Amino acid sequence: MVINTELSVMAYNYPTKKLSAYLSDDVGSELTFYALIEAFHFAKHWLPYCKKFNIELRSPAAYFASSSVSGQSDPDFSKIKILIDSRDEEKKDIDGVRLPNFVYVA
């Protein structure tokens, strides 16, 4: 949920020098940090896609769950959908711990 919010904030049509988003993690979780890095990598694809197609639902989870995306045939739509759907739900880190359920960009 936090990462979807971060993606939404990054998608604001606002001068980047005048907008900052701060994520406060009192525990200093490496998982939160890792998820934020992945979100920034994903944003390189997601934000231009949102601007190109004038998408108002900037949260990927909300957008792809909506009924308005069924039947899309645009090649860019397929690429973004693959970035989201191709994540490995059972992906583990080097210690064998399951990674958080997030967008894994290949």
Quick check: 71 pLDDT over 60?
no
Is 26 known to sit in a ligand binding site?
yes
Helix (H) or strand (E) holding 77: helix 75-85
Q: How many residues are given for the chain?
A: 106
17 domain residue, yes or no? no
99 domain residue, yes or no? yes
Q: What is the pTM of this model?
A: 0.54
Going by pLDDT thresholds of 50, 70 and 90, the confidence category of residue 101 is: very low
Domain that holds residue 66: 1-10+27-106
> What is the percent of the chain where pLDDT is above 70?
47
* Six token digits for residue 44: 């390189």
Going by pLDDT thresholds of 50, 70 and 90, the confidence category of residue 38 is: confident
Tell me the pLDDT of the chain averaged across its residues.
66
94 domain residue, yes or no? yes
18 domain residue, yes or no? no
91 domain residue, yes or no? yes
pLDDT score for 102: 41
* 8 or 54, which is more confident: 54
Are 69 and 49 contacting, i.e. CB atoms less than 8 angstroms apart?
no
- How many domains, in total, are found in the chain? 1
97 domain residue, yes or no? yes
21 domain residue, yes or no? no
19 domain residue, yes or no? no
pLDDT score for 67: 56
